Structure 1
Amino acid sequence: MKKIFQIMTLTATLAIAAPSLAFELEHTTGTINGDKTPERIVSYDLSILDSLNALGIEAVGVPKSNYKDELAKFAEAPKVGTLFEPDYEALKALKPDLIFAGGRSASAIPELEKIAPVANLTNRNPEFLADFRTNTLRLAAAFDKTKKAEEGLSNIDKDIADLQKLNAGKTGAFLFVMNGNIIPHVVGDRFGFVYELTGLESVLPAKTAEELAAPATRPAPDSPEAKAAAAKRAQQIKEIAKADPDWLIVFDRAAINGGENAGEKTLAEHPDLSQTSAFKNGRVVYVDPARWYVITGGLNNLKFLTGDFLDKMK
């Protein structure tokens, strides 16, 4: 009995002596641990900023951007550089205890880590939605916001289920329009998660494993690689027109931040796409470019994207 008591006493003593971690955040490249929950957060990833905002977690610094809608309050927040290039002096002045980096700022992570712990919760293709769910729950768990996150995810899941029911057996194509050029996006591309989101089947094949593994580089203008890419896009557009999808989803790069919306004009002037039944019968969804291009993920933002499709596809 005395021995049992001694063991119990030792166990209790060790439990008291061993400090419990108040904060643990698992992210893409590791885990951040701390004895207290961060209170001075900076996010260069606007999808994470959107989720932080949805979960009621404050950020003290953000990159320069055109903040509106749910993120409007950050228009007046201290700025710490751009989405691509941190302003290290401005960042140091804020004395952050946690920094979120995104895909655009990934190359700056080694320098950012000299200032504060850095987490990367970037959603990757072709598993964008699965990554979004995992990363949202990781973020929420670290800040004791799991219940709130699960409620938000449940609302998004309901919209996705409704969209997949609405679009069962239907096909689609996502078209990225920029300066008169049209770039189709398939499963595995940056916006390829649109097919899982909407329940539409892409009329073009998904990226191959080899294509997914290849580094994402932009060929020099007029180079053989650029000409080959242009020829591939032209062929893809012909295939889209021939398949005559039920829906066309159009992203107009020029319309970001209030620019002129040229997406409809570009399609109307295209000899093949203008002849599709989707274009002729108004089955074209013009998506909000800032929400897709600048934010993309995020609890509030993704709920807007699913709701927008439901409104426009009914």
Structure 2
Amino acid sequence: MKKWTFAAVLMCLVLALAACGSNKDEKSGEKKGETIKVENNFGVSNKDGSSTETVKNTVEVPKDAKKVVAFDMGFLDTLDALGLSDRVVGIPQNAVPAYLKKYTSSEYKNLGGLKEPDFEAVAALNPDVIFISGRQASLFKEFNEIAPTVFVGVDSTDYMKSFKANTELAGKIFNKEDEVKTQLAAIDTKIADLNKKATASKEKALIVLGSQGSLGAFGAGSRFGLIHDVFGFAQSDKKIEVVPHGQTVTSEYVYEQNPDILFVVDRDSAIGEKTSVKKDLENELIKKTNAYKNGKIVYLDAATWYLAGGGIESVSKMVDDAAKGLK
């Protein structure tokens, strides 16, 4: 039998231990990267706006996540503004604002609809994180089983606080804190300037959503309420009910309110359907209002307001849009 020297035995042990260490690393998948704990706390609502349940939990999101799925167009807007388009791997491509159309190319996976996600397609991407908002709130559990899921919907009762929180979260996850501070400061400056002018004008405004011949009115605290709450425009009617699609109103109502400024969101246009909102709205009654007589019916950029609110680019666009009411 061949004799083994002590040195040879020792060398074999060293090599064996090294091999075990290597296998252990491969088996355990190496050291985990840094994560950020994010608390979700949001309500799931019925069509009438009433709450059915509250989702409250904590998820761990990989720091500087490389593969992102975005179901909220506002958060996609923010990722785009921060130069993070290369992190996005998929979105629902059926309703995307024109300024974000590059995300409808084959470079990004189509993940179904805003309210009807293709979960198989989402899972196949093996994303690091998924961002959702109100339209997907009831599907949180299904998303979170695929990857850490973060709710980034904007709270209309405190729009700027929630918008800033979401934007700062993006900065924290993707190491863009300084850029986020700069972007938010610029938006604050624009809003302060608009608010000063709107408050000084004392003109009363009304916001309506038009869709397939119907009208919904929105006031403070609603999905478009930042026109009043943040931008400083006075309301023509302070008793508007806060519901998801607006308080149902008629041309007679608008005529009676006689707003100095009428802000209009064309839902049909926003979702790519044939629209007659402008034709239906500007009837003989509406033509008798101050808004029409003074050329102050302002058709807001529908896709931005209806689909992509709460993003760095969209909020800046919304300020510019609303400012048209003072010209």
Q: Which residue, 90, 93, 102 being the options, matches 2:124?
A: 93
The superposition leaves residues 48-88 of structure 1 with CA deviations (integer Å, 9 ceiling, x where unpaired) of 11111112222111112344544222111111221112212
User: What SS does structure 2 have at the residue aligned with 1:292?
Assistant: helix
Unaligned runs of 5+ in 2: 1-31, 42-55
> Which residue identity lines up with residue 71 of structure 1 in the other structure?
L
> Which residue identity lines up with residue 247 of structure 1 in the other structure?
I
Provide the C-alpha distance between the structure 2 equivalents of 1:32 and 1:252, rounded to a whole number of angstroms.
Answer: 37
TM-aligned CA deviation for residue 246 of structure 1: 2.1
Cα distance change of structure 1 residues 281 and 97 upon mapping to structure 2, 3 Å threshold: same
Q: Which residue, 203, 212, 228 being the options, matches 1:170?
A: 203
8 Å CA contact retained: 1:250, 1:263: no
User: What SS does structure 2 have at the residue aligned with 1:290?
Assistant: helix
TM-aligned CA deviation for residue 89 of structure 1: 1.4
- 1:48 counterpart = 2:88: no
Residue in 2 that maps onto 1:12: none
Provide the C-alpha distance between the structure 1 equivalents of 2:110 and 2:62, rounded to a whole number of angstroms.
Answer: 28
Residue in 2 that maps onto 1:75: 104
Provide the C-alpha distance between the structure 2 equivalents of 1:206 and 1:152, rounded to a whole number of angstroms.
Answer: 35
Q: Which residue, 252, 262, 266 being the options, matches 1:252?
A: 266
Cα distance change of structure 1 residues 65 and 154 upon mapping to structure 2, 3 Å threshold: farther
Provide the C-alpha distance between the structure 2 equivalents of 1:306 and 1:62, rounded to a whole number of angstroms.
Answer: 26
> Which residue identity lines up with residue 42 of structure 1 in the other structure?
V
Q: Which residue, 162, 184, 189 being the options, matches 2:222?
A: 189
Q: Which residue, 88, 93, 106 being the options, matches 1:59?
A: 88
Unaligned runs of 5+ in 1: 1-18, 219-228
> Which residue identity lines up with residue 149 of structure 2 in the other structure?
V
Provide the C-alpha distance between the structure 2 equivalents of 1:91 and 1:180, rounded to a whole number of angstroms.
Answer: 36
User: What SS does structure 1 have at the residue aligned with 2:316?
Assistant: helix
Residue in 2 that maps onto 1:129: 160
Provide the C-alpha distance between the structure 2 equivalents of 1:290 and 1:34, rounded to a whole number of angstroms.
Answer: 29
User: What SS does structure 1 have at the residue aligned with 2:157?
Assistant: coil
8 Å CA contact retained: 1:80, 1:88: yes
Provide the C-alpha distance between the structure 2 equivalents of 1:176 and 1:68, rounded to a whole number of angstroms.
Answer: 17
Q: Which residue, 50, 60, 75 being the options, matches 1:33?
A: 60
Instruction: Point out the structure with the larger strand share.
Output: 2
8 Å CA contact retained: 2:304, 2:314: yes
User: Which shifted more, 186-195 or 256-265?
Assistant: 256-265
- 1:203 counterpart = 2:239: no
- 1:293 counterpart = 2:306: yes
The superposition leaves residues 268-313 of structure 1 with CA deviations (integer Å, 9 ceiling, x where unpaired) of 2152x32111111101110111111111221111111112333553
- 1:142 counterpart = 2:156: no
Cα distance change of structure 1 residues 27 and 151 upon mapping to structure 2, 3 Å threshold: farther
Provide the C-alpha distance between the structure 1 equivalents of 2:239 and 2:168, rounded to a whole number of angstroms.
Answer: 28
User: Which shifted more, 258-267 or 129-138?
Assistant: 258-267
Residue in 2 that maps onto 1:222: none
Provide the C-alpha distance between the structure 1 equivalents of 2:76 and 2:262, rounded to a whole number of angstroms.
Answer: 30
User: Which shifted more, 28-37 or 196-205?
Assistant: 28-37
The superposition leaves residues 63-122 of structure 1 with CA deviations (integer Å, 9 ceiling, x where unpaired) of 123445442221111112211122121111111111111111111111111111110011
8 Å CA contact retained: 2:218, 2:240: no
Report 1:223-302 matches (<5 A). 233-234=249-250, 238=252, 240-256=254-270, 259-269=273-283, 271=285, 273-302=286-315
> Which of the two has higher C-alpha Rg?
2
In the comparison of the two structures, how many residue pairs are matched? 276
TM-aligned CA deviation for residue 179 of structure 1: 1.9
> Which residue identity lines up with residue 76 of structure 2 in the other structure?
L
TM-aligned CA deviation for residue 20 of structure 1: 8.9
Cα distance change of structure 1 residues 206 and 39 upon mapping to structure 2, 3 Å threshold: farther
User: Which shifted more, 240-249 or 103-112?
Assistant: 240-249
CA RMSD of aligned residues (A): 2.7
User: What SS does structure 2 have at the residue aligned with 1:245?
Assistant: coil
> Which residue identity lines up with residue 265 of structure 2 in the other structure?
F
- 1:102 counterpart = 2:133: yes
8 Å CA contact retained: 2:33, 2:63: no
Provide the C-alpha distance between the structure 1 equivalents of 2:277 and 2:40, rounded to a whole number of angstroms.
Answer: 37
